[in-house]
Amino acid sequence: MKLHVSPPAFRGRLHDPRTATSIGRWLGAAFAVCFVTGLISHFMQHPPGSLADDIPSRPVWGYRLSQGLHVASGIAAVPLLLAKLWTVYPHLFARPPLRSVKHALERLSVAVLVAGALFELSTGLLNTAQWYPWPFSFVPVHYAVAWLVVGALVLHVAVKAPEIRAHWTRRSSGTLALPAQDGPDRRSLLASVGAAVAAVTLTTVGQSFTPLKDLLLFAPRDPDKGPQSLPVNRTAAAAGVGRIADEAYRLVVAGPRSYTLTLDDLRALPQHEVELPIACVEGWSKSARWSGVRVVDLLERASAPAHARVRVVSLQLRGGYRVSEMGHRHARDPLTLLALRLNGEELHPDHGYPARLIAPDRPGVLQTKWVGRLEVTS
Ligand SMILES: Nc1nc2c(c(=O)[nH]1)N[C@H]1C(S)=C(S)[C@@H](COP(=O)(O)O)O[C@H]1N2
Ligand SMILES: [Mo]
């Protein structure tokens, strides 16, 4: 007796190549933006070797825009990916499942693409919520899998080039059986996907694009919440520094001519005011008014050479963000301050009392708080 199982029948245009291509190009665009801005963020945080000196310190909002786009395009990709998977899932039931070596390789690349894309979007999304329910370290893994996804995506687009070309030229070919006209069903599917993308974007993008902050609904961070109206990622208590006593505080500037300043010495130096954002890699961003001493003034006093880099060291004893490095463009920028005040008041302990770094066009993780030492490095 022969057992006959017939695969489910999928008819209708919502599962056809034209719908898949329509959604796919928006998904592809979201992934492209996400990948490029991810690379920008990666290189600004971990510049390889001599590249550290090429990182620009302007425009001041550069990293804020780039990282805002990274998180927004990742969030927009979620409904797009779900819609795309729904459109193409009948292919999972196509028989025979494997037709040739070439077909098997193509299926394998799609499996890598789908798994990698789901991994990147879910880990990225949980990261914006500062929730790390996994045993590996987020940044290197998120970065490595991004390359895997992009490789599989390029392969996928190459394999599907005939379908994509047929869609763009609106030519119906016999083998691909693309309907020449769009039907109302397809239009309403695409409109719903577009509405979903608009909804998730508008209700989250306010965390970095403050004019839309009143629409925040799902965004994990409200840019207005926090001491001195500025969010905090790691509090003084969590960092183990608590409130640093004024009398005990010293700033050491280590260079060709090293020196040490007390808090009163720092307050007596020329103070400057700047308006600069904290742009956290996790997607929130907020501008504030900072005042303090120019880092370039502190470096000149130590006779630092013009091309010197600077290592900024926190009084925090443990944790990945206690040290940050700065190329000479950031170190010499007149907007780069060792800030003592925020929005007209002394820094709150959670914002780095008594002194924190604030520099233009710089990822939030590198805006070191509770600074105790500036080291001139060559
Ligand atoms: N020493 C130290 N500095 C730090 C951090 C930290 O954990 N330790 N967190 C960084 C991160 S991730 C961000 S986004 C900003 C947050 O700055 P805020 O608390 O002033 O808003 O501080 C940065 N500076
Ligand atoms: Mo951050």
| Radius of gyration over every alpha carbon of the chain, rounded to an integer in angstroms | 26
Mutate to test the pocket of ligand 1, among 244, 369, 371 (most ligand atoms within 8 A of CB): 369
Same domain, 261 and 369: yes
Domain interval for residue 287:
231-377
Rounded distance from Cα 327 to ligand 1 centre (Å) = 19
The pLDDT tens digits of the residues spanning 50-100 come to 788 889 999 999 999 999 999 999 999 999 999 999 999 998 888 888 889
Looking at the CA of 282, name the nearest ligand: 2
Here the tokens at position 159 are 């394999």
Mutate to test the pocket of ligand 1, among 67, 230, 365 (most ligand atoms within 8 A of CB): 365
- Ligand 1 atom nearest 352 alpha carbon: 20
pLDDT at 13: 81
Q: Which residue has the tokens 């894309």?
A: 117
C-beta 239 within 6 A of ligand 1: yes
Same domain, 197 and 235: no
C-beta 18 within 6 A of ligand 1: no
What is the distance between the alpha carbons of residues 138 and 319, in angstroms, rounded to a whole number? 15
> How many domains does the chain contain in total?
2
C-beta 55 within 6 A of ligand 1: no
C-beta 351 within 6 A of ligand 1: yes
- Ligand 1 atom nearest 232 alpha carbon: 19
For residue 305, is it within any domain? yes
For residue 338, is it within any domain? yes
C-beta 80 within 6 A of ligand 1: no
Q: Shortest CA distance to 37 belongs to which of 335, 367, 363, 285? A: 363
Spans of the chain below 70 pLDDT: 1-9, 170-182, 218-220
Pairing of strands 371-377, 250-254: parallel
Pairing of strands 272-279, 371-377: unpaired
Phi, psi of 15 (to 5 degrees): -110, 10
- Ligand 1 atom nearest 284 alpha carbon: 14
Q: Which of 186, 215, 244 is the last residue of a domain?
A: 215
Same domain, 199 and 255: no
Rounded distance from Cα 365 to ligand 1 centre (Å) = 5
For residue 9, is it within any domain? no
In the three-class reduction of DSSP (H, G, I as helix; E, B as strand; rest coil), residue 114 is classed as helix
Same domain, 164 and 240: no
Same domain, 201 and 252: no
Same domain, 198 and 253: no
C-beta 314 within 6 A of ligand 1: yes
CATH number of the domain encompassing residue 245: 3.90.420.10
Same domain, 25 and 52: yes
DSSP 9: P
Q: Is the pTM of this model over 0.85?
A: yes
Pairing of strands 356-358, 285-294: unpaired
What is the distance between the alpha carbons of residues 374 and 299, in angstroms, rounded to a whole number? 9
Residue nearest atom 9 in ligand 1 by C-alpha distance: 365
What is the distance between the alpha carbons of residues 329 and 306, in angstroms, rounded to a whole number? 9
pLDDT at 175: 47
Phi, psi of 155 (to 5 degrees): -60, -45
pLDDT at 225: 84
Who's near 258: CB < 8 A, 6+ residues apart?
252, 302
Rounded distance from Cα 303 to ligand 2 centre (Å) = 32
Rounded distance from Cα 34 to ligand 1 centre (Å) = 23
Same domain, 40 and 123: yes
For residue 203, is it within any domain? yes
Rounded distance from Cα 369 to ligand 1 centre (Å) = 6
Mutate to test the pocket of ligand 1, among 281, 350, 367, 368 (most ligand atoms within 8 A of CB): 367
Half-sphere exposure of 358 (CA within 13 A, CB side): 30
Residue nearest atom 20 in ligand 1 by C-alpha distance: 351
Calculate the alpha carbon distances from 369 to 23, 180, 341 in Å: 44, 60, 12
Positive or negative: CA dihedral 345, 58, 310, 324: positive
Burial class (CB in 10 A: 0-12, 13-18, 19+), 374: buried
